[in-house]
Amino acid sequence: MSLNRRICIGSRKSQLALVQTHFIHEQLQLHHPNQAFTIETMSTQGDKILDVALAKIGDKGLFTKELEVGMVNKEIDLAVHSLKDLPTKLPKGLILGCITERVNPADALVVNEKNQAYQLETLPENSVIGTSSLRRLAQLKHHYPHLSFKDVRGNVNTRLKKLDQGEYDALILAAAGLERLGMSERIHQIIPAEISLHAVGQGALGIECRDGDTEVIEILKVLEHPASRDRCLAERAFLRELEGGCQVPIGVNTKIENEILTLTGLVASLDGQKLIKDTVTGSPSEAENIGIKLAVSLRNQGADEILAEIFSQIQRNPGIIS
């Protein structure tokens, strides 16, 4: 398929975003060799504010809004996102065009030179763990209350530099990001789901485009990975039903085996003391209903009370991690 117009792909300017966008560009060009594609980069609010905890500046479109405005204004035709950064409720006129094949969605432990002998469970008391995620914070506090946690911002290279300079004993990062950046050797330990359920959509790319742009929607079909789509749609429905943003301790894990989709989800308090967890299964064709069903189950077990308490804590103390 080839269109008379050039298709402009929007991307954040961070290294990881550009790696992901160039990958999508290459895949689209491979499948549509006669179509012209260009890339336009933009800085988002999340890229510009690096000295403030994410919980303080909010999460609604923190890494996506500028790209979405670009699509609405027809400055770009589609945008490549880490799916975990894309809000579950999109602006009017925009849709999730496709979800790409997911890579490892797990969290990873990264340590500096002096801590190479340790795993997460053996790190000494009061070891300083860097994370900007309340989801990771809550789960790790639940399992390892003897560790200390400190907010860390910036791109992956900036965070690793801070780690290697001794500001932290370890970092928790997404395995997918390290792998895509060619930094797999920095992964010291993949954290099992029993310890840390991952973020909604983590490991997958979401391609956002204009609703009704049938030509672009058709072009994107070659990137769709059905199993990843079904898993991620279940996760996003779960998050959307709980009305939790990326800066709320909501974790998930999904798998599809023998035509059965299994979704596990949790809601945890910031101190890790309260943790509600459950699992729902069903047909992948009912992915969103599975997510909603799990959210209702956690609500019935007290999730709303935990989330209300978290929002109140963030309002009172935005720098909650440190």
Q: Domain holding 143: CATH number?
A: 3.40.190.10
Same domain, 8 and 92: yes
Same domain, 15 and 154: no
Determine the pLDDT at residue 51: 45
- Side-by-side strand order, sheet with 148-150: 148-150, 128-130, 170-174, 107-111, 189-190
Q: How many CB atoms lie within 10 A of CB 224?
A: 14
Determine the pLDDT at residue 48: 45
Tally of domains in the chain? 3
Same domain, 95 and 213: yes
Mean pLDDT of the chain, nearest integer? 91
**Residue 74: inside a domain:** yes
Low-confidence ranges of the chain (pLDDT < 70): 1-3, 44-62, 244-247, 317-322
> Which amino acid appears at position 241 of this protein?
E
Same domain, 122 and 41: no
Same domain, 214 and 231: no
Same domain, 55 and 117: no
Given a contact cutoff of 8 angstroms between Cβ atoms, the answer to whether 10 and 81 are in contact is: no
Does the annotation mark 151 as catalytic?
A: no
Same domain, 137 and 57: no
Same domain, 90 and 167: no
Q: Which of 47, 77, 85, 107 is catalytic?
A: 85
Give helix 287-300 / helix 303-316 axis angle, nearest 10°: 80
Which residues is 94 bridged to in the sheet? 210
**Residue 144: inside a domain:** yes
**Residue 51: inside a domain:** yes
Q: To 10 degrees, the CA torsion angle through 8, 14, 16, 19? A: 40
Which residues is 171 bridged to in the sheet? 110, 130
Radius of gyration over every alpha carbon of the chain, rounded to an integer in angstroms:
19
Place of tokens 């797990």: 106
Determine the pLDDT at residue 57: 43
**Residue 199: inside a domain:** no
Determine the pLDDT at residue 322: 45
Q: How many CB atoms lie within 10 A of CB 47?
A: 17
Q: Which pair of structure tokens corresponds to residue 186?
A: 């920095």
| Distance in angstroms (rounded) separating the CA atoms of residues 44 and 301 | 37
Same domain, 185 and 120: yes
Determine the pLDDT at residue 313: 80
Same domain, 79 and 154: no
Question: Domain span at residue 121?
Answer: 107-190
**Residue 198: inside a domain:** no
